[in-house]
Amino acid sequence: MNKYENAIKLLEERCGNGKDVDIALATISLTPNASGMPRPAVRMVCAYYEDGAFYVSTDATTSKMMQIRENSEVAVAGLDWFSFNGAAENLGWVKDEKNADIRAKFKQVFGWFDEVGDEDNPDSIVLRITLTDGVIIDNERKYGERKYEIDFMNKTVLQCSRQHGGCP
């Protein structure tokens, strides 16, 4: 396997295979800081990972979705030693026929979904976060490297260097 395949295998082991993963989701707030500059807004969300994207059940009227409508660039991070940038997209009502497979996975992955998913509410939507780039750390060096700087778009891993935090 090449470094990209190893990095993806590590990510899938930690976040994929039908796991409910808590991630921090950062957006750009609609309210600037005191000097008028944009500022981040972060919150914890439950997600599942599959094929280069995290999927989140949420409400279309939340502040995160209002922020995403203005700027779809987001960042995610997890306690499993990763942080990634991505593009967020509202896939629409969770009960829309085009979301049937995702809805079924929500029901399977999220033990709470049937009780609090509010799927009869048309504002109950699927948020997809397609990963673009970022870092996953493997302190155990399970696949050889300690740090993988992943470019999801080009399906590559950057070569480690001191400039990028190095690989000891």
Supply the CATH number for residue 76's domain.
Answer: 2.30.110.10
Residue 135's nearest CA partner among 77, 79, 88, 48 is 77
- Give pLDDT tens digits for 67-103: 999 999 999 999 999 999 999 999 999 999 999 999 9
Range of the domain at 22: 16-135
- Residue 89: inside a domain: yes
Which residue ranges of the chain lie beneath pLDDT 70?
159-168
Query: pTM, whole model, 2 decimals?
Result: 0.93
Q: Is residue 61 part of a domain?
A: yes
Q: Is 20 a domain residue?
A: yes
If residue 70 lies in a helix (H) or strand (E), which one and from where to where? helix 63-70
Contact indicator for 20, 46 with CB cutoff of 8 Å: yes
**Does 11 fall in a domain?**
no
> In this predicted structure, what is the pLDDT of residue 164?
47
Using the Cα atoms of residue 157, residue 159, residue 161 and residue 166 in order, give the sign of their dihedral: positive
Number of domains in the chain: 1
Q: Which two tokens stand for residue 117?
A: 């998913």
In a domain, 58, yes or no: yes
3-state secondary structure of 166: coil
Could you tell me which of 139, 125, 149, 133 has the C-alpha nearest to residue 52?
133
pLDDT, residue 160, reads 60
Token readout for 108 is 């399977």
pLDDT of residue 1: 80
pLDDT at 93: 98
What's the confidence (pLDDT) of residue 161? 54
Q: Which residues, at least 6 apart from 60, have a Cβ–Cβ distance to it below 8 Å?
A: 90, 123, 124, 125
